[in-house]
Amino acid sequence: MFRLLGRRVLTLGTVIASMIAGSLLTAGTAAPAAVPDTIPLKITNNSGRGEQLYVYNLGTQLSTGRQGWADASGTFHPWPAGGNPPTPAPDASMTGPAAGQSTTIRVPKFSGRIYFSYGRKLVFKLTTGGLVQPAVQNPTDPNRDILFNWSEYTLNDSGLWLNSTQVDMFSAPYSVGVRRADGSTTSTGKLKPGGYNAVLNTLRGRSGGWADLIQTRSDGTVLRALSPLYGLETGALPASVMDDYINRVWQKYTGSTLTVTPFADQPGTKYYGRVSGGVMNFTNGAGTVVTGFQKPDASSVFGCHRMLDAPNDQVRGPISRTLCAGFNRSTLLTNPNQPDSGSGGFYQDSVTNHYARAIHAQTADGKAYAFAFDDVGNHESLVHDGNPSQASLVLDPFD
């Protein structure tokens, strides 16, 4: 009924680790001024919807490792002990701005989520292991019929990382931004005009279960489109949905080599993959096998887990991240040198992650977090600044 808060709440921590591992952060720049304990987050409601808006700031306090929530002033409140079965969590909701208006809250040094819901408060509970969160792929989840979404962020001594995410679902549209100390701003995640309906219509137009990712309420309100990983779990997508492409990749690299260069600033660090005995083994420049992968299934591809597990190391994890991105984007057959330098060849195979394809096609800057390692090659909808003066969350129209 519920899912432990943790699989995705630490995503930005994972992003930070992967950015450092991939040397995507700029090196050699002057140290920024100290990041304050809280920064303002301006929430603007451009949704055009008349329902009451509720906002939550839930996460892990980085200085202590405790889970809890923050109020509008940025004050941290640890969760009380939970139970088994789970017990109701304290009401952590804040009243959000009405349509056409803005409000500003302060966010502390967290790795967490900014949830927002329309019309109804979300249901959060506590178990002995901590907070549990909505699992709307389960039809009996109490949040199943609530229209909501969330953004993920980490604010620490090195700055702010803030994203828009569709890893679990595509739902209420929004964009995120950051204002730097010099007054300049950057934002991402905004859909093109008509993009929200275009994503849904693209899924509706695909056979093979993709239309069944869309969840609606009894009154006809479209609530969300589940990610393909959850589509597998609910039975909307068949388990064999990626088999044809996966089999072709395994066949290709039985007779040729897949070269992975996982670190942008280390072009000399390469790994070479060949399939033998059903396993894709990767060797380093000395010819030593460093890791191997069993042939993945669709769940491993869409979830970037299981047979494509990516530990936070310097070898298997970076290789697995690259493989996962190549499978979701269907570029492993057309480019034996991964990752790809550009997005022009993404999602061109008939067997691909059509959910990710539709979302990327409708974002104004082409960036999204449509699967867990969409940051491979910097195609993710993420803003970062080492000395932020303000963050922003804009709730966009449902058009």
State the pLDDT at residue 239. 98
Same domain assignment for residues 259 and 110 = no
Instruction: Give the 3-state DSSP-derived string for 27-87, with helices as H, strands as E and coil as C.
Output: CCCCCCCCCCCEEEEEEEECCCCCCCEEEEEEEEECCCCCEEEECCCCCEEECCCCECCCE
Same domain for 31 and 136, yes or no, is: yes
pTM given for the model: 0.92
Q: What is the DSSP letter of 207?
A: T
pLDDT of residue 32: 53
Residues 250 and 228 in one domain: no
Question: Are residues 174 and 254 both part of a single domain?
Answer: no
pLDDT at position 285:
95
Average pLDDT over residues 382-393: 97
CATH classification of the domain holding 292: 3.30.920.50
Q: Is 7 exposed, middle or buried (0-12, 13-18, 19+ CB in 10 A)?
A: middle
Res 30: pLDDT: 46
101: Cβ contacts below 8 Å, ≥ 6 apart: 44, 45
Using a CB cutoff of 8 Å and minimum separation of 24, what contacts does 17-22 make?
Answer: 17/312, 18/321, 18/373, 18/375, 19/375, 19/384, 21/263, 21/312, 21/314, 21/317, 21/318, 22/262, 22/263, 22/264, 22/265, 22/318
**Domain count within the chain:** 2
**Cα–Cα dist 358/201, whole Å:** 9
CATH of the domain at 38: 2.60.110.10
Give the pLDDT confidence score for residue 34 in this predicted structure: 87
pLDDT of residue 21: 36
The per-residue b/e assignment along 46-83, b for 16 or more CB within 10 angstroms, e otherwise, is: bbebeeebbbbbbbbbbeeeebbbbeeebebeebeebe
Same domain for 340 and 270? Answer: yes
C-alpha 208/C-alpha 386 separation (Å) is 44
The shares of helix, strand and coil residues in the chain, as percent rounded to the nearest 5, are 20, 30, 50
Range(s) of the domain holding residue 384:
3-237+356-395
pLDDT, position 33: 66
- Among the listed residues 91, 152, 340, 380, the single catalytic one is 152
Determine whether 168 is an active site residue: yes
Residue 294 sits in the same domain as residue 210: no
User: Looking at the structure, do residues 118 and 267 belong to the same domain, yes or no?
Assistant: no
207-214 long-range CB contacts below 8 Å, 24 or more apart? 208/237, 208/238, 208/241, 209/236, 209/237, 209/238, 209/241, 210/237, 210/354, 210/355, 212/236, 212/237, 213/237, 213/355
> Would the pLDDT of 27 be above 70?
no
Residues 196 and 271 in one domain: no
Is 154 in contact with 20 (CB distance < 8 Å)? Answer: no
Q: Please tell me whether residues 52 and 83 are part of one structural domain.
A: yes
- Residue 387: which of 164, 81, 158 has the closest Cα? 158
Give the C-alpha separation, 292 to 320, whole Å. Answer: 10
Residue percentage of the chain with pLDDT more than 70 = 92
Can you tell me the mean pLDDT for 190-203? 98
Residue 204 and residue 277 in one domain: no
Sign of the Cα torsion 345, 351, 353, 355 reads: positive
Query: Which residue among the candidates 168, 297, 340, 385 is catalytic per the annotation?
Result: 168
Based on the domain organization, do 57 and 203 belong to the same domain?
A: yes
Question: Is there a single domain that holds both residue 378 and residue 329?
Answer: no
> What pLDDT is stored for residue 57 in this prediction?
98
Sequence-ordered strand ranges (E) for 191-237: 214-216, 222-226
pLDDT tens readout for residues 73-89: 999 999 999 999 999 99
Q: Is 51 a catalytic residue?
A: no
